[in-house]
């Protein structure tokens, strides 16, 4: 058997409909991690679906209880050949809330619907489709090599990623010996475009923030009291405008990152922000001046206002509201000291004359990025190009955020992510879908990658 045999076998899984059958079965599990009523579905996805599947591939699998959030268990599975080379692979089986009433007619989030060259269903892109690609491709490589890979594989499947991956850091810290590896290969997030294979090396960090102004307990008539009572909404919008200007430029000096590193800038020169038919048009005058759109998206910090309220916007009355609040999100790159963000915001607001604005941190995910010059990066890019003849895109980090911190920082691994989705897939929205051509190509890419890792006599790259 040779490499092309493995690629052909993976492709045949798509062409025969076998892959779609597996994916449809997995999408039917209602694994909404944000809904406590789905705890049984989350566990059943592992015990009834994943455990039998990976045990059939020679893994020893077990469900691991979450040390922080009992309703979000993990699957840890090992396939050991005693090869002295180890790969850790990661995915997640939970999904965003389905909101079936918001999907267009003819679609059902819990049933894969085939329409032309697209598959629709909750999880087809994020992340059931992606980890199913990896496991099906791995199965074909094991078969093509006569039952041996030439290296050991550990699978870690998370059932709480869409809820912030509670317990993942703790699990990696307490099981660092068991999860030790030479490399992490993960699949999540989108490619830069549907027709361009992509590798990314980490993600921007994220911090959810609430800004709050409370002036008094009750509202008061705006005619009788306007001009002598402070308006929390007015205070808050002015405070926010001191943080970000009207063109989206971040104004808090301590939160502006250092200049974009040259290896990152070099990689981004070959990246365009996706402008496919399902993507919004980029606003050319928005964000940090002097940077390209790709640098603003992947290599800079942004503070986004997500929602704000004062009074009742649906039924306003002629009264000064007693309080106002805004929910924001900071996306930040490697080099940002996120532990100091509350301190920096507090100092900035005080200096700008807004001591009454309170800042609350709700959730933080660290920024990570494997060095683009790491030998594993060139190795992975070469493997993907060998499979399709297409030069893959290299993203130093994803613009969004995912739980790479436990792997990059806690376990100290080089992290290489090969996504099997695209920016317009609607993964957190109604009508989530994947293009069939992308799925078929992804099976080929992963079969080639799993094959190349076990190439006899080929040395593995050495992580610095």
Region 192-204: what's the mean pLDDT? 95
Q: How many CB atoms lie within 10 A of CB 388?
A: 14
Residues 137 and 15 in one domain: yes
Residues 307 and 327 in one domain: yes
Q: Determine if the peptide bond prior to 127 is cis (ω within 30°).
A: yes
174, burial (CB in 10 Å: exposed 0-12, middle 13-18, buried 19+)? middle
Residue 81, strand partner residues: none
Region 135-152: what's the mean pLDDT? 97
Instruction: Let me know if residue 287 belongs to a domain.
Output: no
Q: What is the pLDDT of residue 258?
A: 85
Q: What is the pLDDT of residue 180?
A: 97
Instruction: Let me know if residue 273 belongs to a domain.
Output: no
Instruction: Let me know if residue 296 belongs to a domain.
Output: no
End-to-end Cα distance, the chain:
34
Q: Provide the H-helix boundaries in 122-181.
A: 128-144, 168-174
Q: What is the pLDDT of residue 29?
A: 98
Last residue of a domain, one of 325, 346, 365: 365
Domain that residue 351 falls in: 205-257+301-365
Instruction: Let me know if residue 126 belongs to a domain.
Output: yes
Residue 1 has pLDDT above 80, yes or no: no
Residues 306 and 344 in one domain: yes
Q: How many residues does the chain have?
A: 464
Residues 129 and 225 in one domain: no
Give dist(CA 145, CA 394) in Å, integer: 29
Give dist(CA 150, CA 83) in Å, integer: 6
Model pLDDT for residues 212-236, shown as the tens digit of each residue = 999 999 999 999 999 999 999 999 9
Residues 94 and 214 in one domain: no
Q: What is the pLDDT of residue 464?
A: 80
* For the chain, counts of helices (H) and of strands (E): 14, 19
Give dist(CA 339, CA 75) in Å, integer: 31
**CA–CA distances in Å: residue 214 to residues 36, 230, 306, 319, 431:** 32, 10, 20, 15, 39
Q: What is the pLDDT of residue 372?
A: 93
Model pLDDT for residues 52-82, shown as the tens digit of each residue = 999 999 999 999 999 999 999 999 999 999 9
Instruction: Let me know if residue 377 belongs to a domain.
Output: yes
Residue 275 has pLDDT above 90, yes or no: no
More confident residue, 86 or 277: 86
Residues 82 and 119 in one domain: yes
Nearest to 177 by CA among 108, 76, 101, 314: 76
Write the DSSP symbol of residue 186.
E
Instruction: Let me know if residue 85 belongs to a domain.
Output: yes
Nearest to 402 by CA among 48, 175, 92: 92
Torsion angle in degrees (nearest 10) through CA of 33, 37, 39, 40: -130
Last residue of a domain, one of 349, 365, 381: 365
Instruction: Let me know if residue 162 belongs to a domain.
Output: yes
Last residue of a domain, one of 318, 340, 365: 365
**Domain count of the fold of the chain:** 2
CATH code: domain of residue 332? 3.30.70.360
Residues 247 and 226 in one domain: yes
CATH code: domain of residue 194? 3.40.630.10
Residues 126 and 227 in one domain: no
Residues 63 and 119 in one domain: yes
Write the DSSP symbol of residue 347.
H
Residues 28 and 154 in one domain: yes
Residues 198 and 306 in one domain: no
Give dist(CA 293, CA 246) in Å, integer: 18
Instruction: Let me know if residue 345 belongs to a domain.
Output: yes
Model pLDDT for residues 107-136, shown as the tens digit of each residue = 999 999 999 999 999 999 999 999 999 999
Q: How many CB atoms lie within 10 A of CB 380?
A: 26
Give dist(CA 438, CA 278) in Å, integer: 15
If you compute the radius of gyration of the chain from its CA atoms, what whole number of angstroms results? 24
Nearest to 447 by CA among 369, 383, 399, 365: 383
Give the CA count within 13 Å in the CB-facing half-sphere of 121: 22
Residues 350 and 374 in one domain: no
């Amino acid at each position: 058997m040779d490499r092309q045999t493995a690629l052909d076998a993976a492709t045949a899984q798509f062409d025969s409909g076998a892959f779609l059958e597996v994916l449809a079965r997995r999408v039917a599990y209602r694994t909404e991690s944000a809904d406590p009523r789905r705890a049984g579905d989350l566990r059943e996805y592992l015990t009834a679906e994943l455990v039998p599947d990976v045990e059939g591939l020679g893994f020893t699998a077990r469900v691991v209880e979450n040390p922080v959030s009992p309703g979000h268990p993990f699957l840890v599975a090992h396939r050991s050949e005693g090869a002295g080379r180890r790969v850790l692979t990661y995915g997640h089986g939970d999904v965003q809330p389905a909101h079936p009433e918001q999907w267009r007619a003819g679609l059902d989030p819990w049933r894969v619907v085939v329409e032309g060259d697209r598959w629709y269903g909750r999880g087809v892109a994020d992340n059931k489709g992606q980890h199913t690609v990896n496991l099906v491709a791995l199965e074909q490589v094991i078969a093509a090599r006569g039952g041996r890979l030439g290296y050991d594989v550990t699978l870690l499947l998370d059932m709480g990623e869409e809820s912030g991956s509670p317990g993942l850091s703790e699990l990696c810290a307490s099981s660092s010996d068991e999860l030790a590896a030479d490399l992490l290969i993960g699949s999540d997030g989108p490619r830069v475009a549907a027709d361009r294979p992509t590798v990314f090396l980490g993600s921007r960090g994220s911090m959810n923030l609430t800004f709050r102004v409370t002036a008094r307990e009750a509202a008061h008539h705006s005619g009788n009291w306007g001009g002598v009572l402070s308006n929390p909404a007015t205070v808050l919008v002015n405070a926010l405008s001191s943080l970000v200007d009207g063109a989206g430029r971040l104004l808090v000096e301590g939160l502006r990152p250092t200049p974009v590193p040259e290896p990152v800038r070099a990689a981004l020169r070959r990246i365009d922000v996706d402008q496919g038919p399902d993507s919004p048009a980029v606003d050319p005058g928005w964000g940090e001046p002097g940077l390209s759109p790709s640098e603003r998206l992947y290599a800079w910090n942004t503070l986004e206002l997500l929602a704000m309220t004062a009074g009742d916007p649906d039924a306003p009355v002629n009264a000064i509201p007693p309080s106002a609040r805004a929910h924001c999100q900071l996306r930040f790159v490697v080099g940002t000291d996120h532990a100091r963000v509350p301190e920096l915001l507090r100092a900035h607001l005080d200096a700008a004359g807004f001591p009454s604005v309170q800042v609350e941190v709700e959730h933080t995910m660290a920024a990570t990025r494997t060095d683009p010059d790491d030998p594993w990066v060139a190795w992975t890019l070469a493997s993907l190009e060998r499979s399709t003849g297409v030069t893959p895109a290299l993203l130093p980090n994803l613009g969004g955020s995912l739980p790479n911190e436990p792997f990059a920082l806690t376990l100290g691994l080089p992290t290489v992510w090969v996504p099997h989705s695209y920016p317009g897939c609607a993964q957190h929205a109604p009508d989530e879908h994947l293009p069939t051509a992308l799925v078929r190509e992804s099976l080929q890419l992963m079969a080639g990658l799993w094959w190349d890792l076990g190439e006899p006599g080929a040395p593995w790259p050495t992580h610095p």
